[in-house]
Chains A and B, each alone.
Chain A
Amino acid sequence: MDANINGLKMDFLSSTMLNSRTSMEKISMIVDRVKNGDLVVIEGGLTPEEEAELIETTMREIDVENFMGIDIYTLEKDKKSFFGLSKSKIVGLTIIGPANVMKAVKKKSNFLSMIANLGDSNASMH
């Protein structure tokens, strides 16, 4: 992000783009961006193993002065079964951002609201 602009950069990554990468490539792509202060929005979710790998990589990258880690939130959607009987949910969107930026998150079914802290000013997105 341009250091002169006090804004929040958001990267939207499609599932097609992510699925063409290995798990390690996905994780480093996410962590590099988040460590840079950006917010990453992923279409779909990570596998449980990738989530664990993401936390592990984040812990390695934590620098007590400048990077305190990440926050992850997901927005689920109903999974449609063939007969329409299933009530299970799948992850529709995953939002990953620096922990010092993602300040307040309100999560309900099919709704996610987040306040991003941009230093002196605040930005909100719904």
Chain B
Amino acid sequence: MIWLVSMPKFLKRKFFKDIINKLFGKNKKLKIGFYGHPNSGKTTLANRITTDWIGKPIGLVSEIPHETRKVYRQEHVTLSLDDLELDFDIIDTPGIATKIDYKNFLEFGLSEIEAKERAKEATKGIIEAIKWLDDVTGVLLVIDSTEDPLTQANITIMGNLEARKIPFIIVANKIDLPEASPDKIHAVFPQHTVVPISALHGEHISDLYQAMVDKFN
């Protein structure tokens, strides 16, 4: 232990801080899952965040539901606000739904074969997204504020996060649309942190970054 005594003061402090962090699990990697319905804007938000902080998007977005059919991961995104930093991995998950009708995809110009294949892949994606609930350490629950927020998928996601004691923020997305009603999301989930944003245009995105630092740090 002579080496410890001869160590400079700041290194000693770091040494003990690291031990305490390890003991209390503070070094556990922060993995923030992006959850929500298909087309709620999870990947648009993930792209906004990665573009803002690491200069590149994470995945493809489209108007066709279930565009994200497997989990995408972006490691080491560091968000800096004032003197605070939040280092995390983004886990962008496929939208969770209780049903998938391939005929809905035909409306977007997909052939029947493509639509059926997309439906099959989407079912696998939903299973993968649910499995990730065991591994994420924080969640952004993305809700389209032009839609009814009180859906079974949202209730199931929130119930599971609460049961697992995983901190989460409700992101009331698409506030740029005239029919958006983020107040309704506030009214339905008054006990939770709700941040209204437009992931597409970046409106109020700094509010979300502040909420993330407060909630997940």
Contacts and interface: CB of A to CB of B under 8 A. Distances in A.
Interface size class of A (residues with CB under 8 A): 20 to 34
A13 interface: no
A96 B164 CA distance: 25
B120 A69 contact: no
Q: Which of B96, B101, B152 has the most CB of A within 10 A?
A: B152
B130 A73 contact: no
A64 interface: yes
A120 interface: no
A47 interface: yes
Contacts of A18: none
Contact of A72 (B119, B127, B152, B162): B152
B163 interface: yes
A56 B130 contact: yes
Nearest to B158: A48
Interface residues of B, number: 27
Contact of B101 (A73, A99, A107): A99
Contacts of A62: 99-100, 119, 123
The B contact surface, by secondary structure, is helix
B98 interface: yes
A80 B96 CA distance: 33
B114 to A, nearest CB: 12
Given A52-B156, A64-B120, A69-B98, 13 more contacts: A47-B163, A48-B156, A49-B163, A56-B127, A59-B127, A62-B99, A64-B102, A68-B102, A69-B101, A71-B98, A72-B152, A74-B155, A99-B99
25 contacts: A47-B159, A47-B163, A48-B159, A48-B160, A49-B160, A51-B152, A51-B160, A52-B133, A55-B98, A56-B131, A59-B123, A59-B126, A62-B119, A62-B123, A64-B116, A64-B119, A64-B120, A69-B97, A69-B98, A69-B100, A70-B98, A70-B99, A74-B155, A99-B99, A99-B101
